[in-house]
Structure 1
Amino acid sequence: MDRHPVAFKEAVPAADTGSVLPHPARRPGAEPLPLRVLLRRPLLVALSGVSVVALTLLGLAVLVVPVLGNRITTYDQMSRALQDSHVAMLNQETGLRGYLITREARFLQPYEAGVADLKQVDAEIASWTGADAELAGRLAELTAAHQRWTQDWVRPMLAGQPAVGDAVALAELLRQDKALFDHYRAIEAQARAAVGERRAGAMALQQLALYAGALVGVGTAAAVAAVLRGAYRRLEAQVVPPTQEVRDALAALAAGDLTRRAGESGSAELRRIAADVNALGDALQERNELVATRERDLVAARDEAERAGQAKTAFLATMSHEIRTPLNAVLGLTDVLLATDLTDEQRGHLETVAGSGDSLLSLINDILDFSKIEAGELDLEAAPFDLVGVVYDVAQLLAPTASGAGLDLLVDVAGDGPWQVVGDGSRFRQVVTNLVGNAVKFTSEGHVVLRLTGTAAEGRLQCRLSVVDTGIGISPDQRHRLFRSFSQVDASVTRSYGGTGLGLAISQRIARAMGGDIQVHSELGVGSTFTVALDLPLAPAVPDDPSADGLAGLRLLVVDDSPTNLRILEHQLARHGAECILAGGGPAALELLDRGTGVDVAVLDLDMPGMDGDVLAARLRARPGTADLPLVLVSSSATLPAERYAHFDARLNKPVRPERLARTVRSVALRGRTEGANGGGERGRLALPAPARSLRVLVAEDNAVNAQLMSLYLRQLGHRCTHVGDGEQAVDAVLRGTYDVVLMDAQMPVLGGVEATAAIRLLPLATQPRIYAVTASVLAADRTAFLEAGADGFLTKPIRMATLRDALDEVTLSPDAPVAAEPGPPAALDPETVEDLRDLGDDAFAHLYTRYLTTLDDAVAAIVAAADRPSWSVDDEGSVPRLAHGLKGSSAALGATALAQVCHSLETVDPATLAVGDTLAVLDRERSRVRTAVTELLAAVGPGGRDRAAGPPTIER
């Protein structure tokens, strides 16, 4: 079948693309036939063949089903009737024999039933006698044999029977019965055999009819197939070659050969198709010329758009630098001034300036971020970061704002799943900050909860961060405006709350760029829930250090009127092994304790209806059974009067990190459980605000104001500073001197920051300094250039003191950094406790440690003197345990954890086996270390109450 188109192709020269020779099957000059005419003959042949087959099948059906089928059915019925007749005769004979032998009337019942059945069967047999004369004769003989048995034996026997004891007469009568009945049986068997023979003949005839019909059908089908094959060949010769020609022309046009044309041959329809293909080729040739012209225009327009985009990018970088540079000076010098002695009015004005500057910076950041997204410059990093750490950092950053608005800012992290992921942590932080900031802004009362959940599978974490608030809510008809740029839900919200309307738009685009999205569920007047759903790869697992924050064995009383916060605190503490007893308020807590519930530590909320936490603490201190119960205050208030936390052993601000909560509870539980006294360790210690060592810092900055600001920052942070005005001077300074850190501005005269960084990395130095790029640029290309040049990190203008301190702490605390000669942080004091006590204010902070320092030597001397007494009782107020107990409490409260542990060992000493010599030596050594540490701490704070080394006090929330 494929020979025809091939032969046709070979008959046409390959170079002839304009026309095709007419097919030999069609006479030259004849009108082309329509395709339906060409298809008619195969169709008629096929219809004829189908008709013949159908008629054959119909005849077979008529012959086999009504005629032969009925005949076979009749013979089957006759066989069953003969069988039923035989059974009826047997019933008659059996019943009569039984009656003859026993003379019991009950044996006549089978006989009578057989007579009735036989009458019915005889009537049925009589209806078939006309179908076959021979068979009718057989049936007549059968009827005659039955009548003879009935007349010659049955009726005489029923008329008179021999006596019961006459065996001879009885045997003769039974012999007569057997002879007559056997004759009936023989005739019945012959009749049944005749019926079987006729049935077998009908079956054979039926099979013969089926075979004949099948042969007729096969023969008809073969004939039709042969005719169809011939018709198809003729049709193929007239249709396939011109169709192939059209196909080849279309393939050539699709491949780009717009000069190829199809020959117009074959049926009328195929000629029209070929003409249409040729017209298409002409149109494509014209369109190709038009497209080439337009493509040249588009290339020119694209080049113009790229030049415009480059100009926009350059404008964005320039404006970022020009705006951030003066703003850096405004915010930085405001921070410096706030760290000096000021009047209340001056401080208020400067705080207003700082707040306005922060608002302006936030606005600039939003606009620049939005511009980067619109320009396609949003590049995401892929580095490991901790989801939980980001969430708590944002919560603690915004906790003062929430507290000032009277809100509880809570964090709820579900489970202990892996939270170390790979992604852009700074961008995720930006999204969380925007969502939490909005929630705090639009919530006047109640709480804001950050709820983090996640499911890890196949090396990825599907995490969901929900920010739930009890704010004003959003109506359904306004939700579509949420993620629009420069838009809020309505004009009244904009007037009441302010804002550019860019935060949510930027957050959504960042979330989508990270492969996730933001969903909103809100109810007007009830609150809103914004959920960020991300699917991030898990970071490689880092083995944990042995935990020193375990709370196993401790029973904790947790009191809070908020069910949400109560659940969160229970979850955080239970993760560390504590057993939590929950109370929804002060009265409920007192009722639990009155019932004899024993607890090791009580964790109390401050502001509760009916009974505040400080009132509950006073009640607990007044009770004999709970006077010494360690109490931990968890409060949303940033600042509190000293009298409100006077009865507490420790104070934490919401939201509190689970690790810090566990460490605090463990530290205050030193009394009462040996595990608490022995499990404090050094795990989780943080550096004090004073630097671990003073760094030599080179500031490369061409702007005099910014250079002055950096110098003030570094001086307040306890570091030494040298200033140069351009990149070339920076390279010379590093070559001549020794510097730990270089703060490198990006845009400087003579030699730019990138070039200067690359030049410093090429210098033959024994130790390369840490180089931080200080830039106002928001473009990823500028950051990439600095990284390729050898920079270690970035500081974005405007720089705040806390940001600079964190960057320099990475140097001072780095394990690769050389050990400096300056004294390190006072290890005898727990940095976490010291940082908490700074919340009291500088004056109260200095007063506490001064008073503790003045009583420390006397307290230790009293313990040593009591130990020298020949005999004493544990109940004596001047005994070693009682004196050690007093010193332990004050030492633990002020962070002297090691000294408190020594006092605890003395508190439990047995006077009968007094062996405290070694312990007293350790006590004196720890006293000396604590005295040195407190003296250095007070010297750093200074007479004015301000920590000179730390600058403005930084409070961790």
Structure 2
Amino acid sequence: MTSKITKVLMVDDDEDDFIITQDYLHEMTTHTFEIDWISSPKEALEILQKNLHDICLLDYQLGALDGLSVLKKAIKNGCTVPIIMLTGQSDSSLDNSALDAGAVDYLIKNEINLTLFTRAIRYALARKDFENERLERIKAETSNRSKDKFLAHLSHELRTPLTSILGYTELLLNKHRTKPVHSELTTIFNNGKHLLGLLNNVLDLSKIAANRLELNCTSIALHPFIANIYDLMEINAKDKGLSFTIESKTTLPQHIFNDPIRLRQVLINIIHNAIKFTTKGGINVRIHLQDIQGVEMLCFDIQDSGIGIPDTLLENIFKPFEQIEDVVSRNEEGAGLGLAICSELVKLMHGRISVVSEINKGSCFTIQIPPYSPDNEERIELSLADKESYQSHENYAPLQGKILVVDDIQDIRQLIGYFSESFGLEVHYADNGQTAVDLVLSMQNANTPYDLILMDIHMPKLDGKRAISKLRAHSVTNPILAVTAATMKGVRDELKSLGFNDVVAKPIEKSSLYNSLKQFLPHAEISQEIEETTLEILIVDDDSDAANITALLLESLAVKAHVAHSAEHCKTSLADNPNINTLLLDYHLPDMDGISLANQLKDNNANLNIIMLSGSEISNEAMRTAGAAGKLLKPINLEMLQRMLETLN
């Protein structure tokens, strides 16, 4: 075996000494040396600061500039090459000075023998290896810290928009007017939640590697759970012209105990892969109970008729960043994370996952997990007719109190506020930790404290952790709930140790928010009075989806909303509804521009309030021409509409 080449820099102005040292190096058969010999101190400094060599043998006597000065300057200039000082005389003070200056060893030329020389060289090289390992370790630790910071930021950035998507979809689902599209909204809601799980794949691997991923187990109604997966994946299969079936080989428990999000993630990932790599035929999922070494296991066999997996890849497909298509196909894309995450999740569930496959005939993935089902529960045949659907939670018992919502993201702040107001609470807002501290202390000093505070963790100026420390230091004892997208193991305990009473996880779900609030706030009596709507607004927008959603948001603010999609439709609606006193008027309409329409309407009704809508900025001159009272830049959200209503009142 060829030994590694060790690069040596020899700095000595005596050729005889160089030849002797060179002979010693060549006698060391454990190494192969490549020797560069120079005699100039200036040249030595230039070369040493480049760190091109594994070791340097530096003579003390170098003419005008001694070796000790070269040593000190080289190290000062960033040299990391191990340097052994060589001298022709014995001098303990020089020995100590060389070592203090950074030399790894000190050798007297007339006392050197092969054993001593070999020991010094090996020690210097070992020290260099150790230093390299230390630097690599520091580099890796720094990289991991950077990665963790990036992943934390990524988690926040991914979860934040999904909070709005899921939250506003839930808002729409709770409206009577949306019943005709309830099924479509349910699909958006369910797939939005699934998308959140998919986006977390890369975060999951990081948590798994750090042993910071934990399951949130609960009772799962197994049959509706399976039916929902069937409903979702059947569409994907049909899009490729494939058959998709789910069947049970045995009776199944009605309930199992597991993490529904993670189990759904595993099954959908495996089924999705089966569909992706199958071009004809279909996918069949067989579910059954099986006794494995005295332990009852719930088994899922996902069989496809796809391209199959080569034997050489079977042992690697559960490793991160390994992609089947790298070898067998380049028609599909993916990060190669799904199967690795599935494998780790199944292990966390105390189960196992395996695969058998044959090229061009298909693959069968088997997932086995303990069901942890109730012993006295009847086992029944699988039914795919019992599908889960979104359940409205409008029958919340009203709560009483005044709360402060603290979040730097406007949409989330407003969404939490809207949910809280629907529970009967008075809601105040703050967009950072420092503003929250000032508000809370001001209310406390006025003897009108908040009954509860919802505090985001990641905010500018003052984050949630430092904000609660300040509040508790000022003897604020009100319940404070942490709002966070962080789901890593130990986060809840850490936040409670800081003084938070509970943790509300993002994305915000109305039911979980209510369950957290009701622990700390009293119930209120239900008022039987219904406030009559006095304000009527007409939304004029040719984008029917945007117009209808804006109408729903206005109705949630106790406004009677009408919708028109053209200038002519607008004029008709105004004639038919004389109580309309405000228009939300799109700048661009198919039959007339918004400015011209506004001028016509103002001529007939000077008291009509007109708010211009646009997807781009509207100039002040255009606003004056239209006689508009204000403008809203799309996309429209609830807080924008609230502010608009405040200016109209």
TM-score by length of 2: 0.47
**As a proportion of its length, which structure holds more helix?**
1
- When Rg is computed on C-alpha atoms for both structures, the one with the higher figure is 1
**As a proportion of its length, which structure holds more strand?**
2
